[in-house]
Chain A
């Protein structure tokens, strides 16, 4: 771990347990996809759940150790993103009773969790903002990004399966992947979670700015790109359900939208925004 001296003093138990649970869960999801064994799939879900619990305690422990919120630095922000991605996926899996996409989602969760540990040490001053509204603003924004990331993965799977079906290449995987309509529904559910979260999160952000400075600041490019993201996903949600865009075109739009999200998360946060470094 390279998160400074306080982090090094912290217990490594929860991060290790988290990594182990995620890795095992990933293996089980892959096995479920290749064998179709229901028991293996259920075990994959259980291990993901256990991993999320361990991950939660890892985040909590670190926050307590550093006396700050998890999203204060790049480590916490990425780790929280991975955790929320897992929570959103598990919720979606339970809601739609469909676990064959787990094998595609777990690598993203794992990458964010592990990459967080490789992130450079931050020596940022304590955040200027405090309070429940600010915390909710950040948590909801990261949840929205996680939900959008999930819809991105689901859209990629949709396009892959659709391509295989159109080319009549019906191999082992196609029989085990969710039907196209269900994938589209799952992606839309995920986008809905993201839309609601980002809408509330953005409103809370403006409320917080208003309280802090008694006036809105319209100069942060982050506001513009967040509103653009909101508009693009709202457009996707509308097009995917009612018009000629349904199907592969909607999935392509969803992938494009996520590129904008990544842009917002990286270029805008790091180089353009002055108050949104890691979320």
Chain B
């Protein structure tokens, strides 16, 4: 029962290679089927995200022996030259494969440390493979463990709690003022890529009403349509600023778009309800003196970048705690693996000893013609009882072994001593 992992990620492969080796859902299913049909793997799971493509499997033979076959398969499947792919691929076996997956689920192996999306991607990949019968007892156990690790790291550490992008930092800061944003209103000035990123975050947070304002009405309409918002005519500041709680501005303009007098009028009209202004434009879209107004909070790109930097340091300080959870679950998985292997080992040993006993008795009892069938059956039963006792003692000792490493070593030693390669479970 060995585990093999072959894959590549953002650290080992360029985006060009990652693009070529990524799997669609249909490709993931086809790859899993082919790997099992060719006898390379017995259980298979393909994890493919924008930053990684990994194949997890349980091979029929030794994991080290199947790895080259897996690499060749990937190269053929994606039509990428083996030498190009070879330098980008990593191979992990057993304990290291388990640890790698748990680190991935925890967000420790992500490009953006602690990102939340990867856990959902692992869950989806597992669900997809499980529903199609590609996984078995080993990968089921492995991925259930990975999901548990991911969940624990997210609830018991602060690895994923703080925003790591300027857009998400801005939205999270707005939540420091208003609490949950569902039920609140937002106005977006500009319809470029940055605005779109913020709009996506705002929609994720359940903003009730979204208005888009842009010099080009067509682009504003595109963005509004995409995120179920409405368009407000450019320049109608008094109306536009009356209702939103969050204003995001990312407009190309030489002069500030929102001047103090405009915001001051708006604040008077809205009864000084708090207003959070996110200025993502360079040069700045919001006049600096707007920040002096009562109940107005202004954050520009530099302010938000500083927040992101602080959060990065805070996340990094959580790595040891998350790593501790990963280690704990790796031990738990290996302990389960060793127990399962012990059961399999004992079954194999029992079968081998019974065969030995049968051939031994056949040879030795041949000349003893005076023994009746009842006597012979009695002798067989006695020998079986003795063998069971001989087996039971080491099995109990191994089962009771508390130190995981020693337990695994003992299981391996027992297997090496008593079973040939052909007989190993």
Type the 1/0 row for A172-203, where 1 means its CB is closer than 8 Å to any CB of B. Answer: 10110111111000000000000000000000
A171-B297 in contact given A36-B161, A181-B177, A244-B272 (Cβ < 8 Å): no
Instruction: Tell whether, in the assembled complex, residue A180 and residue B306 are in contact, meaning their CB atoms are under 8 Å apart.
Output: no
Instruction: Tell whether, in the assembled complex, residue B176 and residue A37 are in contact, meaning their CB atoms are under 8 Å apart.
Output: no
Residues of B within 8 A of A182 (CB): 179
Contact of B291 with A by CB under 8 A: yes
- Number of A interface residues, CB 8 Å? 27
Contact of A242 with B by CB under 8 A: yes
Contact of A211 with B by CB under 8 A: no
Instruction: Tell whether, in the assembled complex, residue B271 and residue A180 are in contact, meaning their CB atoms are under 8 Å apart.
Output: no
A247-B173 in contact given A36-B161, A181-B178, A182-B179 (Cβ < 8 Å): no
Contact of A243 with B by CB under 8 A: yes
Q: How far is the CA of A36 from the CA of B179 in the complex (A)?
A: 17
Instruction: Tell whether, in the assembled complex, residue A179 and residue B156 are in contact, meaning their CB atoms are under 8 Å apart.
Output: no
Instruction: Tell whether, in the assembled complex, residue A246 and residue B314 are in contact, meaning their CB atoms are under 8 Å apart.
Output: no
Contact of B89 with A by CB under 8 A: no
Interface residues of A in 223-278 (CB under 8 A from B): 242-249
Instruction: Tell whether, in the assembled complex, residue B272 and residue A243 are in contact, meaning their CB atoms are under 8 Å apart.
Output: yes
Residue of A with least CB distance to B307: A170
Type the 1/0 row for B294-306, where 1 means its CB is closer than 8 Å to any CB of A. Answer: 1101010001001
Instruction: Tell whether, in the assembled complex, residue A246 and residue B271 are in contact, meaning their CB atoms are under 8 Å apart.
Output: yes
Cβ-defined partner of B274 (8 Å) among A35, A181, A242, A249: A181
Interface residues of B in 154-173 (CB under 8 A from A): 155-156, 158, 161-162, 173
Contact of B65 with A by CB under 8 A: no
Instruction: Tell whether, in the assembled complex, residue B175 and residue A168 are in contact, meaning their CB atoms are under 8 Å apart.
Output: no
Return A180 CB to nearest CB of chain B, in Å.
5
A242-B271 in contact given A36-B158, A168-B299 (Cβ < 8 Å): yes
Residues of B within 8 A of A35 (CB): 158
Return B293 CB to nearest CB of chain A, in Å.
11
Return A117 CB to nearest CB of chain B, in Å.
39
Contact of B273 with A by CB under 8 A: yes
- Extra A-B contacts (16), CB below 8 Å, given A36-B161, A168-B299, A168-B303: A35-B158, A36-B158, A37-B156, A38-B155, A165-B173, A166-B297, A170-B176, A170-B310, A177-B176, A180-B274, A245-B272, A246-B295, A247-B274, A247-B294, A247-B295, A248-B295
Residues of B bordering A, CB below 8 Å:
155-156, 158, 161-162, 173, 175-179, 268, 271-274, 291, 294-295, 297, 299, 303, 306-307, 310, 314
